[in-house]
Structure 1
Amino acid sequence: MDKGKIFEVELSRWNPSGANPSAQIALPATPYELADALEKARITGDTVYSAEVLSCKLDYLPQFIAPDINLYELNHLAQRLSSLSAWELDCFEGMVMMDAVQTQYAPISVERLINMTHSTEHCQIAYEAHDDPSLGKFYADNDFVPALERVSDEVYEYLDFAKIGREMREGEGGVFTPHGYVVQNGEIASEYHSVDTRTLDKPDYAVLLQVTKGHFNDPAYDNETVVFLKLPAGDAALLQAVDAVGAASPEECAFSAEDCMAPSLTEKISDVLYASEGDCYGLVNELAEQLRQLETDNHLLTYKAMLAEAPGDISLEEALDLAFMTEEFELLTDTASPAEYAKVEIQRMLSLAGDNGLSLFCNLDNYGRYLLEQRATAETEYGLLEPQNGMTVDQCLNRPGQSLGMEMK
């Protein structure tokens, strides 16, 4: 699991008419990463889907999360957990275990789990106590049992610390965790309500950049101010961000990508901006403008499928070039397997002629793979990417040594 991530989740939906596409995503995730995972799993609108937690940084937690959890709400929980300190995470585990004891380990609503992350101030942890005897001795040693204050040292040695610990634990409702004894002295907060994140507002940017002031090893000049710049943006917005971090010019700033409408480009954008020390800002802004246009023209999903099929070392300039070539492809989002592709082709052929040789292909999967190879149609997580004018994504990049056009057999 990536550093800083809490959950690894698999999204899936039930599709009685064909293949059941699924997608995996690590949480917390950005808004566009969430939208991208839902698109890969073909989940739209009111589609019923499940979100299965495959792994979790907190290994005790998945058993308490129901599979019908809302993705946005689970992401909010991941964001909250990723912001907690080690001590706060220990408190959170204790609160989860307190609920588990009361409900015989039934699932806990994510709303309550999120509110637990807001309630750590009401917790106390005795890291020395891992069972009733050590808890009893901890309480006795620290004068938390008023009745024992006048006990002599001779009598103290004969005290039943296990009984003391058990009575204190049962009276307080505390629990033992792998980290120690946790007790909560207050109610779970009510700061969060499920309706707050059942849906997610569409971001008002195509690319989101983090802007900081470059470090010059000068305490009087450096600072830790961070601002975010939404692209596409004009020069005025750029200069406003530069001024907000206390820099004299964009050249004194460090830029990194936080989110992108095409999530596969986020890291590449950061790498390019870091390597060029901001010189490629204009290129990134132009890419953001084109991404916004692709969304307007309903070609964004096709573009993301093209990027998925492109070589891993594609440059940002090449990615921008591809953004102007989406009409060279058709994305079949409802066709997720070779067998389904074969069915689509059979329907096309039957609408034009009779059998037309279909009896030679009795295995739909084999026939579909045959068609994919013949037409250089690519299988992507978003659907099957079908060339419209005989050129693959690689050929659209027009790199040196490549032959244009594909040989039709």
Structure 2
Amino acid sequence: MGFIKAFSGAVGGMLADQWKDFLAPPPGLAPTAAIFPAVPQGQNAGRGSNTSGSQHIITNGSRIVVPEGYGLMTFQDGELTGLVAEPGGFIFTSEDLNSQSLFAGDGILSPTVKMSWERFKFGGRPGSQQLAFYVNLKEIPNNRFGTQSEIYWDDAYLGAQVGAITRGSYTLRIVDPILLVKQFVPLTYLGATPRVFDFTDLDNDAASQLFNEVVGSLSAAFSNYTNDPSKGNRITRIQGDAIGFAQSLSQAVEDGYGWTTGRGLTIEKVALQAIEYDEDTRALLSDVKKADALGGARGNSFMQQAAARGFQAAGENPGGAGGGAGMAFLGMGVNATAGAASGLQQPHEPQPNQQAPVPTPQEPAAPAAAAAPTPAAEDPVAKLAQFKAMLDQGLISEADFEAAKAKVLGL
């Protein structure tokens, strides 16, 4: 008992004239429908009027159409009796010894589907009635997910724990329908009065379970992506990398819940609609962007421009507060500013041939008022010069130098 292939490929408009009646998918299906009953089509231009979903029972000699992107499964007493995953027209028969129970196609399904068939196959009774269901083998869209509170993961680039609220959608594909119906789909969707199995149906407990598992895998998926050197370790690339993040999410749900090996499902693409970082992460990202902007040649250029502005300010107002501020920024006593600082007035000291003034007895010298000590301002250029020398001597790493430079410049 099985199927005889009548013709291959897409269904033509003349099919109704060739076959008086045949089974086909019901009209008006949502693109998120995964499993649904086959319904009979009358002779009305091949698109007949008898489309009752309850009349999906097939008998010996029934004609069945399998459109492109779909598969057909037959059941008896809850047991799988046949699978067709090739487009074309087929005849269900228990009389022809050449009939087959499995048409797995080439490249549509997972290579493990034949192994699944051998594991779960059930021959049925010749001449008995069979229940026929179609399975959607296309990429199934609009499977949404979202988090109500922050999820956290360790980020390799930031070197810290990152938190965010996120939402988006993903597409999935059924790669092994045998595993799906035998291991996951409830029997109520495969009986004589079935409902359409839709992944977005809020009343579908199996679909709700998948949603919860995806949300529970998001933290691991973000960690997989941001800690993968081939992705550049940049969190900002996720929203533009639908396939790359889908691989990370698919791996996470596979590691946690065995979607592919246990249920015949895989995630194809992911569209992240939003990533809302928590307050600490936003502050950290802001600091990292500033450090990146001042790294390497750009940072050296910034320092040169700052030094030039300081010298210009000191030259325009050498005796005023602006000149003092400019020299303080550049750093007194550093080689780069030694020449400019040498022109400042020094304390009066007696020369070798000059006697120090001696106070007269009539006018004793008054003790000088004790001047309040002025704390020396920290010199950023001197600090940076010290760190650069340590870097050149191999005492610190390039990352240490960049971090120290950002701290000295107040970034």
TM-score normalised by the shorter chain: which range applies?
under 0.3
Larger radius of gyration: 2
TM-score, with length taken from structure 2: 0.21
More helix by share: 1
TM-score, with length taken from structure 1: 0.21
